[in-house]
Amino acid sequence: MSTLEIKDLHVSIETEQGTKEILKGVSLTIRTGETHAIMGPNGSGKSTLASTIAGHPRYNVTSGSITLDGEDVLEMSVDERARAGVFLAMQYPVEVPGVSMTNFLRTAKTAIDGEAPKLRTWTKDVKAAMEQLRIDADFAQRNVNEGFSGGEKKRVEILQLELFKPKFAILDETDSGLDVDALKVVSEGVNRAHAEGKMGTLLITHYTRILRYIKPDFVHVFVDGQVVEEGGPELADRLEEEGYDRYAKGAGAAAAPVAAQA
């Protein structure tokens, strides 16, 4: 049983106009076996939260904490976080020219496990996982994400999720840009990983569509860098019907979103 705990997190970025605060005090606790959905309109800070947990250098944590089973995640380098069990399925996976998927997957697995995977079982595992995600076998020989379509990139992110077996999976808008078939395939992958019972999931999404396939235990609504409402799966249903308008209306264009809740 593991716990990923985010406490009063404040995050800013440097822009041409100066420092801009994106997250304004976010608290969230995720435990093994739980699925949390974070929903919110564009620009609410959902992806910033994901990238900050993974340690992207663009985001500065000005105050607050992130801990994994009590260990200070913010003190860890990007690769240390991954080895500690944090996995970020990226919204826009980058292409890494000249590095084959096979080589990349094996190198990463070796780094995460601290030892090289047994060649025979590893090759079999990769093959099976690729088949389940309907990724063509020839992708193994191709360079990381190079020339992959948007949907293919997302499937390959989930492939890594299934192979690396993290303690916590953060899915940053994995559903965006996917057609229904691809969405099902990707969701099944996440559910398979989750069913092993050793993973907590933070699902970040703009739309409720993916929540038909991945059932959240908790739903958190993000507006302007803060959680403005929390609830169970029924909150997602309500968002499906009503959208985010009611948050925006009360907030009066990002001036005082907290006041709207008060």
Partner 1 sequence: MTEITTEKARIGAPSAQPFIDGFTEEGESLSPINAGSKAPLAGASAKSHSHGGGVGIPDSSRAGRLTSYKLADFKPLTGMEEDWRFTPLKRLRGLHSEVLAGAAPTVVVTGPEQVTVESVNRDDQRIGTAGIPEDRVSANAWENFAGATVVTIPAEFEALTEISVDIEGTSLEAAAQHLVIVAEKFSKAVVVLNHRGSAVVSENVEIIVEDGASLTVVSLQEWNDDAVHASSQQAKIGRDAKLKHVMVSLGGDLVRVTPSARFTAPGGEAELFGLYFADAGQHLEQRLFVDHAVPNCKSNVLYKGALQGRNAHAVWVGDVLIRKEAEGTDTYEANRNLLLTDGARADSVPNLEIETGLIEGAGHASATGRMDDEHLFYLMARGIPESVARRLVVRGFLNEIIQQIKVPSIEERLTEAVEHELALTDN
Task: State the minimum distance, in angstroms, from the CB of residue 175 to partner 1.
Answer: 20
Residue 195, both tokens: 């069913």
Q: How far apart are CA 107 and CA 259, in angstroms?
A: 49
Residues 120-159 that bind partner 1 (CB under 8 A): 143-144
CB of 9 to partner 1, least distance (A): 19
**Closest CB to partner 1 among 42 and 77?**
77
- Identify which range of 20-28, 108-116, 121-129, 227-235 contacts partner 1 by CB under 8 A: 108-116
Nearer to partner 1, 18 or 57 (CB): 57
Residue 108 found at the interface with partner 1 (CB under 8 A): yes
Cα dihedral 221/223/228/233 (nearest 10): -10
CB of 79 to partner 1, least distance (A): 4
Instruction: Print the binding letters for residues 153-182 with partner 1: x by CB under 8 A, - otherwise.
Output: -------x---x------------------
- Contact status: 189 vs partner 1 (CB under 8 A): no
Residue spans of beta strands (DSSP E) within the chain: 3-15, 18-31, 35-39, 60-68, 71-72, 86-89, 168-172, 200-205, 218-223, 226-231
Of the candidate spans 74-82, 125-133, 188-196, 240-248, the one that interacts with partner 1 by CB under 8 A turns out to be 74-82
Instruction: State how far the alpha carbon of 54 is from the alpha carbons of 50, 62, 66, 104, 146, in Å.
Output: 6, 16, 11, 19, 22
Q: How far apart are CA 186 and CA 76, in angstroms?
A: 29
Residue nearer to partner 1 on the CB measure, 63 or 110? 110
Q: Return the half-sphere exposure (C-beta side, CA atoms, 13 A cut-off) of residue 42.
A: 1
107 touches partner 1 by CB under 8 A: yes
d(CA 77, CA 91): 21
Q: Does 57 bind partner 1 (CB under 8 A)?
A: yes
Per DSSP, the residues of 10-79 read EEEEEETTEEEEEEEEEEEEEETT-EEEEE--TTSSHHHHHHHHHT-TTPEEEEEEEEETTEEGGGS-HH
The contact pattern for partner 1, residues 77-106, with x = CB under 8 A and - = no contact, is xxx-xxx----x-x--xx-xxxx---xx--
Work out whether 259 is an interface residue with partner 1 (CB under 8 A): no
When the beta carbons of 81 and 227 are compared against partner 1, the nearer one is 81
The site for partner 1 (CB under 8 A) is made up of: 54-57, 77-79, 81-83, 88, 90, 93-94, 96-99, 103-104, 107-108, 111-112, 143-144, 160, 164
